[in-house]
Structure 1
Protein backbone atom coordinates (compact mmCIF):
# COMPACT_ATOMS: atom_id res chain seq x y z
CA UNK A 1 0.00 0.00 0.00
CA UNK A 2 1.24 3.47 -0.91
CA UNK A 3 0.59 6.13 1.75
CA UNK A 4 1.22 9.79 1.03
CA UNK A 5 0.97 13.27 2.47
CA UNK A 6 1.16 16.30 0.19
CA UNK A 7 0.64 20.04 0.51
CA UNK A 8 1.10 21.26 -3.06
CA UNK A 9 0.84 18.02 -5.03
CA UNK A 10 4.44 16.89 -5.53
CA UNK A 11 4.24 13.88 -3.23
CA UNK A 12 0.74 13.03 -4.45
CA UNK A 13 2.02 12.97 -8.03
CA UNK A 14 4.93 10.66 -7.14
CA UNK A 15 2.74 8.40 -4.98
CA UNK A 16 0.19 7.93 -7.76
CA UNK A 17 2.93 7.26 -10.30
CA UNK A 18 4.47 4.60 -8.07
CA UNK A 19 1.05 3.15 -7.32
CA UNK A 20 0.36 2.69 -11.03
CA UNK A 21 3.77 1.16 -11.65
CA UNK A 22 3.52 -1.39 -8.85
CA UNK A 23 -0.26 -1.87 -9.24
CA UNK A 24 -1.03 -1.13 -5.60
CA UNK A 25 -3.54 0.90 -3.62
CA UNK A 26 -2.70 4.58 -3.01
CA UNK A 27 -4.07 6.28 0.11
CA UNK A 28 -3.98 9.98 1.08
CA UNK A 29 -3.09 10.52 4.76
CA UNK A 30 -4.58 14.03 4.86
CA UNK A 31 -7.88 13.19 6.56
CA UNK A 32 -6.26 10.72 8.95
CA UNK A 33 -3.74 13.32 10.09
CA UNK A 34 -6.32 16.12 10.21
CA UNK A 35 -8.77 14.07 12.32
CA UNK A 36 -6.10 12.39 14.48
CA UNK A 37 -7.19 9.01 13.15
CA UNK A 38 -4.62 6.47 14.30
CA UNK A 39 -6.71 3.38 13.63
CA UNK A 40 -4.63 0.47 12.36
CA UNK A 41 -4.00 -0.19 8.69
CA UNK A 42 -3.24 -3.51 7.03
CA UNK A 43 -1.44 -4.29 3.76
CA UNK A 44 -0.28 -7.58 2.32
CA UNK A 45 2.15 -5.74 0.04
CA UNK A 46 5.12 -3.66 1.26
CA UNK A 47 4.37 -0.26 2.70
CA UNK A 48 5.50 2.72 0.62
CA UNK A 49 5.39 6.12 2.34
CA UNK A 50 5.70 9.14 0.03
CA UNK A 51 6.16 12.51 1.72
CA UNK A 52 7.77 15.92 1.17
CA UNK A 53 11.05 16.86 2.80
CA UNK A 54 10.77 19.45 5.58
CA UNK A 55 14.18 20.65 6.81
CA UNK A 56 15.91 17.48 5.61
CA UNK A 57 13.54 15.02 7.32
CA UNK A 58 9.97 13.82 6.90
CA UNK A 59 7.30 16.25 8.18
CA UNK A 60 6.86 16.09 11.94
CA UNK A 61 3.12 15.58 11.55
CA UNK A 62 3.73 12.46 9.43
CA UNK A 63 6.39 11.20 11.85
CA UNK A 64 3.94 11.56 14.74
CA UNK A 65 1.15 9.84 12.82
CA UNK A 66 3.40 6.90 11.98
CA UNK A 67 4.58 6.60 15.56
CA UNK A 68 1.00 6.21 16.80
CA UNK A 69 -0.47 4.08 14.00
CA UNK A 70 -0.12 0.30 13.68
CA UNK A 71 0.85 -0.83 10.17
CA UNK A 72 -0.08 -4.51 10.05
CA UNK A 73 0.42 -7.30 7.56
CA UNK A 74 3.55 -6.92 5.46
CA UNK A 75 6.53 -5.89 7.57
CA UNK A 76 8.59 -4.24 4.82
CA UNK A 77 8.54 -0.48 4.37
CA UNK A 78 10.00 1.95 1.83
CA UNK A 79 10.15 5.74 2.00
CA UNK A 80 10.16 8.13 -0.96
CA UNK A 81 10.82 11.79 -0.19
CA UNK A 82 10.17 14.59 -2.65
CA UNK A 83 12.56 17.51 -2.26
CA UNK A 84 13.85 20.66 -3.88
CA UNK A 85 17.45 19.48 -3.63
CA UNK A 86 18.43 17.13 -0.81
CA UNK A 87 16.95 14.94 1.94
CA UNK A 88 20.12 15.13 4.00
CA UNK A 89 20.47 12.32 6.53
CA UNK A 90 16.73 11.65 6.76
CA UNK A 91 17.35 7.91 6.47
CA UNK A 92 18.94 7.77 9.92
CA UNK A 93 15.75 8.93 11.59
CA UNK A 94 13.52 6.78 9.39
CA UNK A 95 15.54 3.71 10.34
CA UNK A 96 15.12 4.58 14.01
CA UNK A 97 11.38 5.03 13.50
CA UNK A 98 11.10 1.65 11.79
CA UNK A 99 13.12 -0.11 14.46
CA UNK A 100 10.70 1.22 17.06
CA UNK A 101 7.75 -0.08 15.06
CA UNK A 102 9.38 -3.47 14.28
CA UNK A 103 9.23 -2.76 10.55
CA UNK A 104 11.90 -3.78 8.04
CA UNK A 105 13.31 -0.51 6.70
CA UNK A 106 14.23 -0.91 3.02
CA UNK A 107 15.59 2.56 2.43
CA UNK A 108 14.64 6.04 1.35
CA UNK A 109 14.69 7.40 -2.19
CA UNK A 110 14.95 11.13 -2.92
CA UNK A 111 12.92 12.48 -5.87
CA UNK A 112 13.74 16.06 -6.87
CA UNK A 113 10.55 17.95 -7.69
CA UNK A 114 9.80 21.66 -8.26
CA UNK A 115 10.52 23.93 -5.30
CA UNK A 116 7.35 24.87 -3.43
CA UNK A 117 8.53 26.37 -0.14
CA UNK A 118 7.38 29.95 -0.60
CA UNK A 119 8.25 30.84 2.97
CA UNK A 120 11.93 30.87 2.03
CA UNK A 121 12.39 30.27 -1.70
CA UNK A 122 11.00 31.32 -5.06
CA UNK A 123 9.05 28.67 -6.94
CA UNK A 124 9.88 28.03 -10.60
CA UNK A 125 7.76 29.24 -13.51
CA UNK A 126 5.50 26.61 -15.07
CA UNK A 127 7.85 25.59 -17.90
CA UNK A 128 10.76 25.11 -15.53
CA UNK A 129 8.56 23.15 -13.12
CA UNK A 130 7.42 20.83 -15.89
CA UNK A 131 11.04 20.24 -16.90
CA UNK A 132 11.92 19.25 -13.32
CA UNK A 133 8.96 16.86 -13.22
CA UNK A 134 10.00 15.26 -16.51
CA UNK A 135 13.50 14.71 -15.14
CA UNK A 136 12.04 13.04 -12.05
CA UNK A 137 10.37 10.27 -14.04
CA UNK A 138 13.50 8.10 -14.28
CA UNK A 139 13.98 8.19 -10.50
CA UNK A 140 10.30 7.41 -9.89
CA UNK A 141 10.51 4.46 -12.27
CA UNK A 142 13.70 3.24 -10.60
CA UNK A 143 12.02 3.36 -7.18
CA UNK A 144 8.98 1.48 -8.48
CA UNK A 145 11.11 -1.22 -10.10
CA UNK A 146 13.06 -1.78 -6.89
CA UNK A 147 9.82 -2.06 -4.93
CA UNK A 148 8.39 -4.54 -7.45
CA UNK A 149 11.52 -6.69 -7.17
CA UNK A 150 11.46 -6.46 -3.33
CA UNK A 151 14.94 -4.93 -3.41
CA UNK A 152 16.17 -2.31 -0.97
CA UNK A 153 16.81 1.23 -2.13
CA UNK A 154 20.51 2.10 -2.60
CA UNK A 155 22.01 3.90 0.37
CA UNK A 156 23.33 7.39 -0.51
CA UNK A 157 26.64 8.78 0.67
CA UNK A 158 26.07 10.98 3.71
CA UNK A 159 28.15 14.10 4.26
CA UNK A 160 28.86 15.97 7.47
CA UNK A 161 26.52 18.72 6.29
CA UNK A 162 23.76 16.16 5.72
CA UNK A 163 24.10 15.06 9.33
CA UNK A 164 24.05 18.63 10.56
CA UNK A 165 21.03 19.61 8.44
CA UNK A 166 18.88 16.63 9.44
CA UNK A 167 20.02 16.87 13.05
CA UNK A 168 20.63 20.18 14.78
CA UNK A 169 19.29 22.36 11.93
CA UNK A 170 16.00 20.46 11.87
CA UNK A 171 15.75 20.69 15.67
CA UNK A 172 16.25 24.48 15.55
CA UNK A 173 14.28 25.17 12.38
CA UNK A 174 10.87 23.94 13.55
CA UNK A 175 10.49 26.03 16.74
CA UNK A 176 12.22 29.05 15.20
CA UNK A 177 10.59 29.24 11.77
CA UNK A 178 7.62 26.88 11.40
CA UNK A 179 4.73 29.03 12.51
CA UNK A 180 1.82 30.85 10.87
CA UNK A 181 2.53 34.37 12.14
CA UNK A 182 3.38 35.78 8.70
CA UNK A 183 0.37 34.41 6.79
CA UNK A 184 -2.38 36.87 5.97
CA UNK A 185 -5.14 37.38 3.40
CA UNK A 186 -5.28 40.42 1.13
CA UNK A 187 -8.31 42.23 -0.16
CA UNK A 188 -8.41 39.81 -3.10
CA UNK A 189 -9.83 37.12 -0.79
CA UNK A 190 -13.31 35.95 -1.84
CA UNK A 191 -14.02 34.01 1.39
CA UNK A 192 -14.24 30.69 -0.48
CA UNK A 193 -12.86 28.74 2.50
CA UNK A 194 -10.57 26.56 0.41
CA UNK A 195 -7.61 27.31 2.68
CA UNK A 196 -9.65 26.20 5.69
CA UNK A 197 -10.44 22.85 4.07
CA UNK A 198 -6.86 22.26 2.92
CA UNK A 199 -5.10 22.85 6.25
CA UNK A 200 -4.00 19.46 7.65
CA UNK A 201 -3.86 20.85 11.19
CA UNK A 202 -7.23 22.66 11.24
CA UNK A 203 -5.22 25.81 11.85
CA UNK A 204 -7.25 28.17 9.65
CA UNK A 205 -10.73 29.55 10.34
CA UNK A 206 -12.89 32.20 8.70
CA UNK A 207 -13.56 35.22 10.86
CA UNK A 208 -15.64 38.03 9.37
CA UNK A 209 -15.28 36.15 6.07
CA UNK A 210 -11.47 36.28 6.11
CA UNK A 211 -9.04 33.46 6.95
CA UNK A 212 -7.27 33.67 10.29
CA UNK A 213 -4.33 31.43 11.20
CA UNK A 214 -3.89 29.84 14.61
CA UNK A 215 -0.76 28.68 16.39
CA UNK A 216 -0.41 25.28 14.71
CA UNK A 217 1.32 25.18 11.34
CA UNK A 218 3.52 22.73 9.48
CA UNK A 219 4.44 25.03 6.57
CA UNK A 220 2.99 22.65 3.99
CA UNK A 221 2.17 25.72 1.82
CA UNK A 222 -1.22 24.22 0.88
CA UNK A 223 -3.10 27.40 1.76
CA UNK A 224 -0.92 29.90 -0.06
CA UNK A 225 -0.27 27.77 -3.14
CA UNK A 226 -3.86 26.58 -3.64
CA UNK A 227 -5.68 29.87 -3.12
CA UNK A 228 -7.71 30.42 -6.34
CA UNK A 229 -7.21 34.19 -6.14
CA UNK A 230 -3.61 34.22 -4.88
CA UNK A 231 -4.98 36.26 -1.99
CA UNK A 232 -2.72 34.74 0.68
CA UNK A 233 0.72 36.14 1.38
CA UNK A 234 3.58 35.11 3.64
CA UNK A 235 4.99 38.36 4.95
CA UNK A 236 6.79 40.30 2.24
CA UNK A 237 8.60 37.34 0.72
CA UNK A 238 5.70 35.97 -1.33
CA UNK A 239 4.53 39.26 -2.83
CA UNK A 240 4.54 39.14 -6.61
CA UNK A 241 5.96 35.61 -6.61
CA UNK A 242 4.69 32.55 -8.46
CA UNK A 243 2.52 30.05 -6.62
CA UNK A 244 3.07 26.35 -7.21
CA UNK A 245 0.73 23.40 -7.52
CA UNK A 246 1.88 20.21 -9.20
CA UNK A 247 -0.11 19.46 -12.38
CA UNK A 248 -1.82 16.10 -11.92
CA UNK A 249 -0.53 14.72 -15.22
CA UNK A 250 2.87 16.41 -15.12
CA UNK A 251 2.34 17.94 -18.56
CA UNK A 252 1.41 21.19 -20.22
CA UNK A 253 -2.24 20.15 -20.39
CA UNK A 254 -4.49 22.30 -18.26
CA UNK A 255 -6.10 20.63 -15.30
CA UNK A 256 -9.83 20.27 -15.32
Structure 2
Protein backbone atom coordinates (compact mmCIF):
# COMPACT_ATOMS: atom_id res chain seq x y z
CA UNK A 1 0.00 0.00 0.00
CA UNK A 2 1.17 3.49 -0.85
CA UNK A 3 0.67 6.15 1.83
CA UNK A 4 1.18 9.71 0.67
CA UNK A 5 1.16 13.20 2.11
CA UNK A 6 1.00 16.17 -0.24
CA UNK A 7 0.35 19.88 0.18
CA UNK A 8 0.46 21.05 -3.44
CA UNK A 9 0.33 17.82 -5.42
CA UNK A 10 3.93 16.76 -6.12
CA UNK A 11 3.96 13.79 -3.78
CA UNK A 12 0.40 12.85 -4.72
CA UNK A 13 1.43 12.71 -8.37
CA UNK A 14 4.51 10.60 -7.53
CA UNK A 15 2.39 8.22 -5.44
CA UNK A 16 -0.18 7.81 -8.20
CA UNK A 17 2.52 7.14 -10.78
CA UNK A 18 4.08 4.43 -8.63
CA UNK A 19 0.67 2.95 -7.81
CA UNK A 20 -0.24 2.68 -11.49
CA UNK A 21 3.02 0.88 -12.28
CA UNK A 22 2.91 -1.49 -9.29
CA UNK A 23 -0.83 -2.18 -9.39
CA UNK A 24 -1.11 -1.00 -5.81
CA UNK A 25 -3.56 1.21 -3.95
CA UNK A 26 -2.95 4.74 -2.66
CA UNK A 27 -4.09 6.18 0.64
CA UNK A 28 -4.05 9.94 1.14
CA UNK A 29 -2.93 10.66 4.71
CA UNK A 30 -4.63 14.06 4.78
CA UNK A 31 -7.83 12.89 6.47
CA UNK A 32 -5.94 10.46 8.72
CA UNK A 33 -3.62 13.15 10.07
CA UNK A 34 -6.25 15.88 10.20
CA UNK A 35 -8.64 13.73 12.25
CA UNK A 36 -5.79 12.22 14.30
CA UNK A 37 -6.84 8.78 13.08
CA UNK A 38 -3.96 6.46 14.03
CA UNK A 39 -5.82 3.17 13.72
CA UNK A 40 -3.76 0.23 12.46
CA UNK A 41 -3.40 -0.32 8.73
CA UNK A 42 -2.76 -3.62 6.97
CA UNK A 43 -1.13 -4.44 3.63
CA UNK A 44 0.39 -7.65 2.34
CA UNK A 45 2.31 -5.67 -0.24
CA UNK A 46 5.33 -3.58 0.84
CA UNK A 47 4.55 -0.18 2.31
CA UNK A 48 5.57 2.83 0.23
CA UNK A 49 5.65 6.20 1.99
CA UNK A 50 5.63 9.16 -0.40
CA UNK A 51 6.07 12.63 1.06
CA UNK A 52 7.74 15.99 0.40
CA UNK A 53 11.04 16.92 2.00
CA UNK A 54 10.88 19.60 4.69
CA UNK A 55 14.34 20.98 5.43
CA UNK A 56 16.11 17.83 4.26
CA UNK A 57 13.95 15.35 6.19
CA UNK A 58 10.51 13.77 6.05
CA UNK A 59 7.89 16.20 7.44
CA UNK A 60 7.64 15.88 11.20
CA UNK A 61 3.90 15.53 10.99
CA UNK A 62 4.30 12.44 8.78
CA UNK A 63 7.01 11.02 11.01
CA UNK A 64 4.77 11.47 14.06
CA UNK A 65 1.92 9.69 12.26
CA UNK A 66 4.16 6.75 11.39
CA UNK A 67 5.32 6.46 14.98
CA UNK A 68 1.72 6.37 16.22
CA UNK A 69 0.21 4.11 13.54
CA UNK A 70 1.02 0.41 13.38
CA UNK A 71 1.54 -0.93 9.86
CA UNK A 72 0.58 -4.62 9.79
CA UNK A 73 1.22 -7.30 7.21
CA UNK A 74 4.36 -6.62 5.23
CA UNK A 75 7.32 -5.35 7.23
CA UNK A 76 9.08 -3.88 4.19
CA UNK A 77 8.92 -0.10 3.91
CA UNK A 78 10.07 2.04 0.98
CA UNK A 79 10.37 5.82 1.17
CA UNK A 80 10.04 8.23 -1.74
CA UNK A 81 10.78 11.87 -0.91
CA UNK A 82 10.01 14.61 -3.40
CA UNK A 83 12.07 17.78 -3.17
CA UNK A 84 13.02 20.95 -4.98
CA UNK A 85 16.74 20.39 -4.53
CA UNK A 86 17.95 17.56 -2.30
CA UNK A 87 16.89 15.37 0.64
CA UNK A 88 20.21 15.59 2.48
CA UNK A 89 20.67 12.75 4.96
CA UNK A 90 16.95 12.08 5.39
CA UNK A 91 17.70 8.37 5.03
CA UNK A 92 19.43 8.19 8.42
CA UNK A 93 16.32 9.40 10.22
CA UNK A 94 14.11 7.01 8.28
CA UNK A 95 16.34 4.07 9.15
CA UNK A 96 15.93 4.93 12.83
CA UNK A 97 12.17 5.21 12.41
CA UNK A 98 12.03 1.73 10.84
CA UNK A 99 14.24 0.26 13.54
CA UNK A 100 12.04 1.75 16.27
CA UNK A 101 8.88 0.36 14.66
CA UNK A 102 10.29 -3.05 13.70
CA UNK A 103 10.11 -2.46 9.95
CA UNK A 104 12.55 -3.50 7.24
CA UNK A 105 13.99 -0.37 5.63
CA UNK A 106 13.98 -0.82 1.83
CA UNK A 107 15.66 2.44 0.92
CA UNK A 108 14.82 6.06 0.25
CA UNK A 109 14.56 7.64 -3.19
CA UNK A 110 15.13 11.33 -3.90
CA UNK A 111 12.79 12.64 -6.61
CA UNK A 112 13.34 16.18 -7.86
CA UNK A 113 10.02 17.93 -8.47
CA UNK A 114 9.12 21.60 -9.00
CA UNK A 115 9.85 23.88 -6.06
CA UNK A 116 6.72 24.77 -4.08
CA UNK A 117 8.10 26.27 -0.87
CA UNK A 118 7.37 29.85 -1.79
CA UNK A 119 7.84 31.03 1.79
CA UNK A 120 11.57 31.01 0.95
CA UNK A 121 11.99 30.20 -2.73
CA UNK A 122 10.31 30.83 -6.08
CA UNK A 123 8.12 28.31 -7.88
CA UNK A 124 8.61 27.69 -11.61
CA UNK A 125 6.03 28.58 -14.24
CA UNK A 126 3.92 25.78 -15.70
CA UNK A 127 6.17 25.13 -18.70
CA UNK A 128 9.26 24.85 -16.49
CA UNK A 129 7.39 22.68 -14.01
CA UNK A 130 6.30 20.23 -16.69
CA UNK A 131 9.90 19.77 -17.84
CA UNK A 132 10.99 18.96 -14.28
CA UNK A 133 8.13 16.49 -13.86
CA UNK A 134 8.90 14.84 -17.19
CA UNK A 135 12.45 14.19 -15.98
CA UNK A 136 11.06 12.79 -12.72
CA UNK A 137 8.77 10.35 -14.56
CA UNK A 138 11.72 8.19 -15.64
CA UNK A 139 12.96 7.88 -12.06
CA UNK A 140 9.48 7.11 -10.76
CA UNK A 141 9.29 4.27 -13.29
CA UNK A 142 12.60 2.86 -12.00
CA UNK A 143 11.41 3.16 -8.40
CA UNK A 144 8.26 1.24 -9.32
CA UNK A 145 10.38 -1.53 -10.84
CA UNK A 146 12.51 -1.81 -7.69
CA UNK A 147 9.35 -2.11 -5.61
CA UNK A 148 7.75 -4.67 -7.93
CA UNK A 149 10.92 -6.77 -7.92
CA UNK A 150 11.32 -6.54 -4.15
CA UNK A 151 14.68 -4.84 -4.55
CA UNK A 152 15.98 -2.21 -2.17
CA UNK A 153 16.32 1.32 -3.50
CA UNK A 154 20.05 1.86 -4.14
CA UNK A 155 21.65 4.03 -1.48
CA UNK A 156 23.16 7.33 -2.61
CA UNK A 157 26.34 8.85 -1.15
CA UNK A 158 25.63 11.42 1.55
CA UNK A 159 27.74 14.57 1.57
CA UNK A 160 28.92 16.35 4.69
CA UNK A 161 26.61 19.24 3.71
CA UNK A 162 23.69 16.83 3.51
CA UNK A 163 24.38 15.55 7.02
CA UNK A 164 24.59 19.09 8.39
CA UNK A 165 21.37 20.14 6.68
CA UNK A 166 19.36 17.17 7.97
CA UNK A 167 20.71 17.01 11.49
CA UNK A 168 21.46 20.65 12.37
CA UNK A 169 19.55 22.95 10.03
CA UNK A 170 16.32 20.93 10.19
CA UNK A 171 15.70 21.61 13.92
CA UNK A 172 16.56 25.28 13.40
CA UNK A 173 14.16 25.45 10.48
CA UNK A 174 11.28 24.18 12.61
CA UNK A 175 12.02 26.42 15.57
CA UNK A 176 12.65 29.60 13.59
CA UNK A 177 10.69 29.28 10.35
CA UNK A 178 7.66 27.03 10.73
CA UNK A 179 5.14 29.53 12.03
CA UNK A 180 1.88 30.84 10.63
CA UNK A 181 2.23 34.45 11.76
CA UNK A 182 3.30 35.79 8.36
CA UNK A 183 0.28 34.47 6.47
CA UNK A 184 -2.44 36.98 5.73
CA UNK A 185 -5.29 37.50 3.27
CA UNK A 186 -5.48 40.55 1.02
CA UNK A 187 -8.59 42.57 0.33
CA UNK A 188 -9.39 40.54 -2.79
CA UNK A 189 -10.15 37.43 -0.67
CA UNK A 190 -13.56 36.08 -1.76
CA UNK A 191 -14.31 34.21 1.50
CA UNK A 192 -14.56 30.87 -0.30
CA UNK A 193 -13.09 28.90 2.59
CA UNK A 194 -10.73 26.87 0.40
CA UNK A 195 -7.82 27.64 2.72
CA UNK A 196 -9.83 26.29 5.67
CA UNK A 197 -10.61 23.09 3.79
CA UNK A 198 -7.02 22.35 2.76
CA UNK A 199 -5.38 23.09 6.11
CA UNK A 200 -4.06 19.82 7.46
CA UNK A 201 -3.96 21.02 11.07
CA UNK A 202 -7.33 22.80 11.19
CA UNK A 203 -5.30 25.94 11.80
CA UNK A 204 -7.37 28.34 9.69
CA UNK A 205 -10.84 29.70 10.36
CA UNK A 206 -12.92 32.39 8.73
CA UNK A 207 -13.62 35.40 10.89
CA UNK A 208 -16.00 37.91 9.30
CA UNK A 209 -15.34 36.18 6.00
CA UNK A 210 -11.54 36.45 6.20
CA UNK A 211 -9.11 33.67 7.10
CA UNK A 212 -7.22 33.84 10.36
CA UNK A 213 -4.33 31.54 11.18
CA UNK A 214 -3.71 29.93 14.55
CA UNK A 215 -0.43 28.76 16.02
CA UNK A 216 -0.32 25.28 14.45
CA UNK A 217 1.32 25.13 11.04
CA UNK A 218 3.47 22.68 9.13
CA UNK A 219 4.29 25.03 6.20
CA UNK A 220 2.85 22.70 3.57
CA UNK A 221 1.94 25.78 1.45
CA UNK A 222 -1.50 24.36 0.66
CA UNK A 223 -3.41 27.44 1.79
CA UNK A 224 -1.36 29.96 -0.15
CA UNK A 225 -0.91 27.86 -3.29
CA UNK A 226 -4.47 26.54 -3.52
CA UNK A 227 -6.21 29.89 -3.01
CA UNK A 228 -8.26 30.29 -6.23
CA UNK A 229 -7.74 34.06 -6.40
CA UNK A 230 -4.18 34.19 -4.98
CA UNK A 231 -5.36 36.39 -2.14
CA UNK A 232 -3.01 34.90 0.47
CA UNK A 233 0.53 36.14 1.05
CA UNK A 234 3.39 35.11 3.30
CA UNK A 235 4.92 38.38 4.43
CA UNK A 236 6.34 40.38 1.54
CA UNK A 237 8.35 37.52 0.06
CA UNK A 238 5.48 35.94 -1.89
CA UNK A 239 4.23 39.15 -3.49
CA UNK A 240 4.28 38.63 -7.24
CA UNK A 241 5.53 35.03 -7.03
CA UNK A 242 4.00 32.11 -8.93
CA UNK A 243 1.70 29.93 -6.89
CA UNK A 244 2.22 26.22 -7.42
CA UNK A 245 0.07 23.12 -7.64
CA UNK A 246 1.28 20.12 -9.61
CA UNK A 247 0.24 20.83 -13.22
CA UNK A 248 0.72 17.26 -14.43
CA UNK A 249 -1.73 15.94 -11.86
CA UNK A 250 -4.25 18.65 -12.75
CA UNK A 251 -3.86 17.99 -16.48
CA UNK A 252 -4.34 14.24 -16.01
CA UNK A 253 -7.60 14.55 -14.10
Q: TM class by shorter-chain length?
A: over 0.9
- Could you tell me which residue of structure 2 aligns to residue 231 of structure 1? 231
Q: What residue in structure 2 maps to residue 9 of structure 1?
A: 9
Q: Which residue number in structure 2 is paired with residue 219 of structure 1? A: 219
Deviation at 1:247, TM superposition (A): 2.1
Q: SS of the residue aligned with 1:180? A: coil
- For normalisation by structure 2, the TM-score amounts to 0.98
C-alpha distance in 2, partners of 1:25/1:43? 10
Q: CA deviation at 1:206?
A: 0.4
d(CA) in 1 for partners of 2:249, 2:129 = 13
8 Å CA contact 2:43, 2:73 repeated in 1: yes
- Name the SS of the counterpart of 1:224 in structure 2: helix
Q: Could you say which residue in structure 1 is the equivalent of 2:81?
A: 81
Superposed CA offset, 1:83-111 (max 9, x none): 00100000000000000000000000010
Using the alignment, how far apart are the partners of 1:249 and 1:179 within structure 2?
28
| Cα displacement (A) at 1:249 | 3.9
Q: Matched residue of 1:175: which SS?
A: helix
Gaps of 5+ in 1: none
Query: Is the 2:9–2:249 contact (alpha carbons within 8 Å) kept by the matching residues of 1?
Result: no
Report what 1:135 is aligned to.
135
TM-score between the two structures when normalised by the length of structure 1: 0.97
Q: Does 1:103 align with 2:103?
A: yes
Deviations 1:125-152 (A, max 9, x none): 1100010000101110010000000000
Q: In structure 1, how many angstroms separate the alpha carbons of the residues matched to 2:133 and 2:223?
A: 22
CA deviations over 1:48-96 (Å, ceiling 9, x no partner):
0000000000000000000000000000000000000100000000000
Q: Which region of structure 1 is more displaced relative to structure 2, 125-134 or 241-250?
A: 241-250
1-structure distance, mates of 2:70, 2:188 = 44
Match of 1:151 in 2: 151
Alignment partners' CA distance in 1, 2:201 and 2:2:
22
Structure 2: gaps (5+ residues) = none
Instruction: Give 1:27's aligned residue.
Output: 27
Stretch deviating more after TM superposition (241-250 or 60-69): 241-250
Which residue number in structure 1 is paired with residue 194 of structure 2? 194
Q: Helix, strand or coil for the counterpart of 2:19?
A: helix
Is the partner of 2:32 in helix, strand or coil?
helix
1:182 corresponds to: 182
Q: Verify the 8 A CA contact 2:4 2:12 in the aligned structure 1.
A: yes
Following TM superposition, the consecutive aligned residue runs of length 4 or more in structure 1 with deviations greater than 6 angstroms are none
Partner of 1:172: 172
How far has the Cα of 1:248 moved from its partner? Answer: 4.4
**Matched residues in 2 for 1:19 and 1:147: separation?**
10
